[in-house]
Amino acid sequence: MRILGIESSCDECSAAVVEDGRRILSNIVATQIPFHADYNGVVPEIASRMHTEWISRVVKDALAAAGTARSDLAGGAATARPGLSGSLLVGLTFGKAFAWARGLPFIAVDHMLGHLYAPRLLGDIEYPYLGLLVSGGHSIICRVDDFDDITVLGTTIDDAVGEAFDKVAVHYKLGYPGGAVIDKLARSGNPDAFRFPLPNLHKGAHRCDVSYSGLKTAVVNQLEQFRAVDAPTGNADIAASFQKAAVEILLRALLRAQEDTGLTTIVAGGGVAANSYLRARLAARKDLRCLFPPLELCGDNGAMIAGVGYKFLERGDRSPLSATVSARVPAFKRRYP
């Protein structure tokens, strides 16, 4: 069963063909990063405009690369939330029209379900497990009982972890997006050179929540002092120390979730799951089994959407043509009211 998956929630225009929710036949990712870099962040109007210009070609290329004719497809899926509304609308509308014109079943997919599904494109992972969803827009620690049965245990109370990497990188004048640049710069720095404050831990319902605005501000203030004394060599140390603190915040929350649920398998997803220090710290925990998607499936891509789409379509779920987008957080259950 071959499914076409379309992803356009932010600045990647992507389409993929995946067979049986597992075999990636093609996964075309056209990134808009160079077009947003001058602005140090994604400009929504530019993003939706570029998706409009690229989507048709990207889908065509995905079908050609998969050696798949339109008539070989069993269904279509596209991201409907969360993300930039104007960008989401392009992929979702294209996907609906594509499927309708060919009489194919269609399903609208949650982007975060896609990130969680990405490691499953490589092989089965037995439920339940803990999910660590870390991207530019979200930081979510959740219990995963099925591909669509997600309970949020903790989330950020302010900035997302990827956003903190991006904002710090802007202050370094390293460009956008900052995660990969800081990851690389940090390798030549001393992670213990600066001790940045970690947020207070909370009790009760919020014990697995994380926060990044305090860390971000502390790091930015530190940079201002460095600039004042013109000591650019300190940048790598700050990057390494910031990255260590950022990962520490995630680990503390994850360990609490592990304590609460007794689950020891952790499945990561989202752009920040590409972070080498996060991967190394989790790999070092012999008490946990940590599974990461391959680097090319950490960021936004159509394959993860096709994968989730397959699971829904296989069990007969369909979205109506009236399905629309939502910029808001994913529709996951919460552990607490």
Task: Give the nearest distance from C-beta 69 to ligand KG4 in angstroms.
Answer: 30
Cα–Cα dist 165/179, whole Å? 5
> From the list ligand KG4, Zn ion, none, which binds 179 (C-beta under 5 to 8 Å, kind-based)?
ligand KG4
Tell me: does residue 211 bind Zn ion (CB under 5 A): no
CA-closest candidate to residue 170, choices 134, 216, 210, 212: 216
Q: Phi and psi for 140 in degrees, rounded to 5?
A: -135, 130
In the list 21, 131, 178, 293, the residue contacting ligand KG4 (rule: CB under 6 A) is: 178
Task: Give the nearest distance from C-beta 165 to ligand KG4 in angstroms.
Answer: 5
Tell me: does residue 87 bind Zn ion (CB under 5 A): no
In the list 75, 76, 95, 177, the residue contacting ligand KG4 (rule: CB under 6 A) is: 177
> From the list ligand KG4, Zn ion, none, which binds 40 (C-beta under 5 to 8 Å, kind-based)?
none
Tell me: does residue 251 bind ligand KG4 (CB under 6 A): no
Residue 265 or 276 with smaller CB distance to ligand KG4: 276
- Contact (Cβ atoms closer than 8 angstroms) between residue 126 and residue 143: no
Tell me: does residue 135 bind Zn ion (CB under 5 A): yes
Tell me: does residue 118 bind ligand KG4 (CB under 6 A): no
In the list 214, 299, 307, 330, the residue contacting ligand KG4 (rule: CB under 6 A) is: 299
Cα–Cα dist 231/46, whole Å? 36
Task: Give the nearest distance from C-beta 120 to ligand KG4 in angstroms.
Answer: 16
- Contact (Cβ atoms closer than 8 angstroms) between residue 79 and residue 91: yes
Identity of residue 246:
A
Residue 42 or 185 with smaller CB distance to Zn ion: 42
Cα–Cα dist 273/294, whole Å? 9
Residue 107 or 161 with smaller CB distance to ligand KG4: 161
Burial class (CB in 10 A: 0-12, 13-18, 19+), 59: buried
Burial class (CB in 10 A: 0-12, 13-18, 19+), 280: exposed
Instruction: Say if residue 232 is preceded by a cis peptide, omega within 30 of 0.
Output: no
CA 327 to chain centre: 15
CB atoms closer than 10 angstroms to residue 329: 15
- Contact (Cβ atoms closer than 8 angstroms) between residue 132 and residue 101: no
Cα–Cα dist 300/298, whole Å? 7
CA angle at residue 52 from 49 to 56, to 5 degrees? Answer: 155
Tell me: does residue 241 bind ligand KG4 (CB under 6 A): no
Residue 213 or 261 with smaller CB distance to ligand KG4: 213
> From the list Zn ion, ligand KG4, none, which binds 48 (C-beta under 5 to 8 Å, kind-based)?
none
Task: Give the nearest distance from C-beta 12 to ligand KG4 in angstroms.
Answer: 7
Tell me: does residue 180 bind ligand KG4 (CB under 6 A): yes
Tell me: does residue 302 bind ligand KG4 (CB under 6 A): no
In the list 156, 300, 307, 308, the residue contacting Zn ion (rule: CB under 5 A) is: 300
- Contact (Cβ atoms closer than 8 angstroms) between residue 147 and residue 203: no
Residue 218 or 278 with smaller CB distance to ligand KG4: 278
Tell me: does residue 30 bind ligand KG4 (CB under 6 A): no
Cα 163 to Cα 48, 64, 98, 138, 216, distances in angstroms:
20, 35, 33, 9, 9
Tell me: does residue 241 bind Zn ion (CB under 5 A): no
Tell me: does residue 110 bind Zn ion (CB under 5 A): no
Cα–Cα dist 8/89, whole Å? 8
Tell me: does residue 32 bind Zn ion (CB under 5 A): no
- Residues of this chain that bind ligand KG4 (CB under 6 A): 10, 135-137, 162, 165-166, 177-180, 183, 270-272, 274-275, 299-300
- Residues of this chain that bind Zn ion (CB under 5 A): 135, 300
